[in-house]
Amino acid sequence: MKIIDLSQPLTNDTPHYPGDNPFKLHEAQFKDITISSMSTSMHVGTHLDLPRHMLKDNRTVKDIPLMAFIGKARVIDVRNPYQNGLFDDVLENDIILIRTDYSKDFSKPGYYDNFPVLKDHWVDTLLSKKIKLLGLDTPSPDKAPYPLHKKLFNQDIFIIENLTNLDQLPLNKPFMFYGVPLNVAAEGSLIRAFAILDKIT
């Protein structure tokens, strides 16, 4: 079994969306016991967005069964945006990970300014194919006023942002994806995302 970690590390240096609350970790000593505390936006690093992030929706992460975040996944490589048939192999209930390799800029200044956005008709195609979940190796599918976030949320498709290492995943065959959030009463959550590749060495 080969496991590919698709999560960015969370440290006091992890970048955050401008204006959002940063990830802050504090390690305290109580005699010989070490206890860390953290304060963070749920939208730092590799994380999940639920519809409540932008729409009126009562559900928080704790209300969503784990199955929503686990399943058969495919990578769609959009680094050449002019290629045809990008989504031809996508099947209903697939988890789709859009590969741009922009994650390599995660620690660079401007990461939250210069990211590539999805094309509107890509999102329409994915919605018509009834995918299960959409993951990105960028901070967001779109920029303010976030029409693609809302289009996805209106069809109850959840979004995972700031994935990394998508270049280590196969392009031509599906694999198991896990994007596991905290069991938390919030509109989003930090996640540990990973893929399990069977019989691939």
Positions in the binding site for Zn ion (CB under 5 A): 43, 49
As given in the structure block, the two tokens for residue 81 are: 């945006």
Q: How far is the CB of 160 from Zn ion (least distance, A)?
A: 9
Identify which of 66, 16, 89, 79 has the alpha carbon closest to the alpha carbon of residue 182: 66
Cα 129 to Cα 148: distance, rounded to the nearest angstrom = 16
Nearer to Zn ion, 86 or 162 (CB): 162
**Token pair 């289009």: residue:** 151
User: 71 to each of 108, 136, 150, 199, how far by Cα in Å?
Assistant: 32, 16, 23, 17
Nearer to Zn ion, 43 or 151 (CB): 43
Q: How far is the CB of 31 from Zn ion (least distance, A)?
A: 38
- For the chain, the distance separating the N- and C-terminal CA atoms, rounded to the nearest angstrom, is 8
Q: How far is the CB of 181 from Zn ion (least distance, A)?
A: 12
Nearer to Zn ion, 64 or 197 (CB): 64
Q: How far is the CB of 19 from Zn ion (least distance, A)?
A: 13
Nearer to Zn ion, 49 or 94 (CB): 49
